């Protein structure tokens, strides 16, 4: 069954939230803390290795109750059942959305068109395990009999960002294989990656759900040509494998059917790292770590499915985000992981969040009359503190920010970690507290500054704070906690899509650019520019004249 079709702004709770917003908008978070000394113990969720403190938000109990009511009124419970059950909730593509099945236990039953998909999933998992073990152990060798030293993942979007992010995040757990990623159709990307590679010891994993994506096919062809400069066509079978739903196109490319890891149309590209799309992850860190990643995600799935909404991390984070996006008109959200290992988490989530919820038509096919998809951006702390934090602290825009930190470091250097974490805590406190006039006066006095100079500086140095943050404090960055963290944000996306009454699992907007690029490519090749707007025409002619 499809998801319900309810306009959120017509619900009674939405109207009550609007009235409540009028009460809350000028109350500072600092004042909320002063009025309620128990605030942190009320507004947090402890689950497994996660502690999520959301007390530094512009909310009180009434806000939370209203947001939870909105979730009820929008029938979120029913939507969650349909999501996990494999109902065709991706209605515009007539598909189920079942990345959660990819991490379900072997005894689970998930039906798609009346067929349990779990046995198939486990057959592919077994193939991933066997293949990874053979490559890592060196039992499976290249065309000159040497073991593999390098792996190149060729894919883009969901066929690149997920594996690239996780391989980077789990670097600490990595084996000897060097794993590279080629995604951009810009020839400089592929050239830079292959220039130091030895074809005799490099394995290529072509990842494309559709196997029609221009970037991936072009890069694969370039790499195949480069490979064949030293090897014979029959050696392709030893060095090229593919992950795809399109078996016909993969075999037409020259890859043996036995070297194809299948995936399914009920797995969206941006949620696919749990499938064979994660093959590069399994190669980089070994199958057991890959499996733990899946286990962590499954634990988060259970938490999301079973916990009451007020203790449910994805639900609460999604509701807070809606509070700022739809009532405070916040334009974006930042996500700041305090570990260098998660430097690719934000770009990865940009696809998940913005490709899913960047929609302006509701489930009724009507233009929405409220803001949808949040803009997400960020970089690891502490680097980001020295780059863009000034704007979060003192700029004119409201930017709710998620801080993600870990209690124990992986490298064991406690001195570094304590410094890192002191920054982590200091930033959310500074964002909450700001700086008072008295503090600035004290600082000036300590410096022996003349009073007229201190008075001049005060307006620039005094600031209100009052910037909302969520703190996610996790025990340690392990494959399992990473899996849970990724799944958390996947479910946040789902909740927001349900509450905004949009379809989160298609991406028609991206398709238009792809179609236009193909026709412009024909024009560039034939040097015959067709009909365009005057700007595109002008630019194309300039390009053709000067190329």
- Region from 37-45, 197-205, 209-217, 316-324 binding ligand F6P, contact rule CB under 6 A: 209-217
Nearer to ligand F6P, 270 or 417 (CB): 270
**Sheet containing 332-337: order of strands:** 44-47, 50-53, 469-474, 401-406, 332-337, 375-377
Nearer to ligand F6P, 75 or 210 (CB): 210
- Region from 91-99, 171-179, 204-212, 453-461 binding ligand F6P, contact rule CB under 6 A: 204-212
Reported as type and span, the H/E element at residue 480 is: helix 479-499
Total residues contacting ligand F6P by CB under 6 A comes to 14
Contact 33, 39 (CB under 8 A): yes
By CB under 6 A, the residues from 394 to 453 that bind ligand F6P are none
Annotated active-site residue in 42, 77, 146, 514:
514
- Catalytic: 532? no
> Exactly one of 7, 171, 210, 436 binds ligand F6P (CB under 6 A); which one?
210
By CB under 6 A, the residues from 252 to 281 that bind ligand F6P are 269-270
Contact flag: residue 133 with ligand F6P (CB under 6 A):
no
Nearer to ligand F6P, 86 or 158 (CB): 158
Q: Which own/partner pairs from 243-248 qualify as long-range (CB within 8 Å, at least 24 positions apart)?
A: 243/155, 243/159, 243/205, 243/206, 243/207, 243/208, 243/275, 243/276, 243/277, 243/279, 244/206, 244/207, 244/208, 244/209, 244/210, 244/211, 245/209, 245/210, 245/211, 246/208, 246/209, 246/210, 246/211, 246/212
By CB under 6 A, the residues from 451 to 510 that bind ligand F6P are 507, 510
Alpha helices in 209-278 (DSSP H): 214-228, 236-239, 247-253
Residue carrying the six token digits 């795809």: 244
SS3 sequence of 81-129: HHHHHCCCCEHHHCECCCHHHHHCCCCCCCEECCEECHHHHHHHHHHHH
DSSP state of 2: P
Q: Give least dist CB 48 to ligand F6P, A.
A: 29
- Region from 32-40, 155-163, 339-347, 521-529 binding ligand F6P, contact rule CB under 6 A: 155-163
Q: Give least dist CB 211 to ligand F6P, A.
A: 7
> Exactly one of 156, 165, 182, 285 binds ligand F6P (CB under 6 A); which one?
156
- Catalytic: 415? no
> Which residues of the shown chain bind ligand F6P in the complex (CB under 6 A)?
156-159, 208-210, 213, 216, 269-270, 355, 507, 510
Q: Which residues are catalytic?
A: 355, 386, 514
């Amino acid at each position: 069954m499809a998801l319900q079709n309810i306009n959120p702004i017509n619900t009674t709770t939405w109207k009550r939230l609007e009235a409540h917003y009028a009460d809350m908008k000028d109350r500072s978070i600092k004042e909320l803390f002063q009025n309620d000394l128990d605030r942190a113990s009320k507004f947090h969720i402890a689950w497994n290795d996660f502690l999520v403190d959301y007390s530094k938000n512009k909310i009180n109990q009434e806000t939370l109750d209203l947001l939870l009511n909105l979730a009820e009124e929008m029938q979120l419970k029913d939507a969650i059942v349909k999501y996990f059950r494999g109902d065709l909730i991706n209605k515009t593509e007539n598909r189920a959305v079942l990345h959660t099945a990819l991490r379900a236990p072997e005894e689970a039953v998930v039906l798609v068109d009346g067929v349990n998909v779990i046995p198939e999933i486990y057959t592919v998992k077994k193939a991933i395990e066997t293949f990874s073990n053979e490559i890592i152990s060196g039992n499976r060798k290249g065309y000159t009999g040497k073991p593999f030293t390098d792996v190149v993942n060729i894919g883009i979007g969901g066929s690149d960002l997920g594996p690239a992010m996780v391989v980077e995040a789990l670097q600490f757990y990595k084996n000897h294989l060097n794993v590279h990623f080629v995604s951009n159709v810009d020839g400089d990307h592929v050239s830079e990656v292959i220039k130091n590679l030895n074809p005799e010891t490099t394995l290529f994993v072509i990842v494309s759900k559709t196997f029609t994506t221009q970037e991936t096919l072009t890069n694969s062809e370039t790499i195949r040509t480069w490979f064949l400069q030293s090897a014979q066509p029959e050696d392709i079978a030893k060095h090229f494998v593919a992950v795809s739903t399109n078996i016909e196109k993969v075999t037409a490319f020259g890859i043996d059917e036995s070297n194809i890891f299948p995936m399914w149309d009920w797995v969206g590209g941006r949620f696919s790292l749990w499938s064979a799309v994660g093959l590069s992850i399994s190669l980089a860190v070994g199958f057991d770590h890959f499996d733990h990643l899946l286990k962590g995600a499954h634990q988060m799935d259970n938490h999301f499915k079973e916990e009451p909404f007020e203790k449910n991390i994805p639900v609460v984070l999604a509701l807070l985000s809606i509070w700022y996006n739809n009532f405070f008109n916040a334009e974006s959200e930042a996500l700041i992981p305090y570990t260098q290992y998660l430097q690719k988490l934000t770009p990865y989530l940009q696809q998940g969040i913005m490709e899913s919820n960047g929609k302006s038509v509701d489930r009724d096919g009507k233009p929405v009359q409220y803001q949808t998809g949040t803009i997400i951006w960020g970089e690891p702390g502490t680097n980001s503190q020295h780059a863009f934090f000034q704007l979060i602290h003192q700029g004119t825009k409201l930017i709710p920010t998620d801080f993600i930190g870990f209690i124990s470091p992986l490298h064991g250097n406690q001195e570094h970690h304590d410094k890192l974490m002191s920054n982590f805590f200091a930033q959310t406190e500074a964002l909450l507290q700001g700086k008072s006039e008295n503090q600035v006066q004290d600082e000036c006095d300590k410096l022996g500054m003349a009073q007229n100079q201190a008075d001049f500086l005060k307006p620039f140095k005094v600031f209100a704070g009052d910037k909302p943050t969520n703190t996610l404090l996790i025990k340690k960055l392990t494959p399992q906690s990473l899996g849970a963290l990724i799944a958390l944000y996947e479910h946040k996306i789902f909740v927001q899509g349900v509450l905004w009454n949009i379809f989160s699992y298609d991406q028609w907007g991206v398709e238009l650019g792809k179609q236009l690029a193909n026709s412009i490519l024909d024009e560039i090749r034939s040097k015959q520019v067709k009909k365009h707007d005057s700007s595109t025409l002008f630019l194309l002619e300039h390009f053709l004249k000067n190329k």
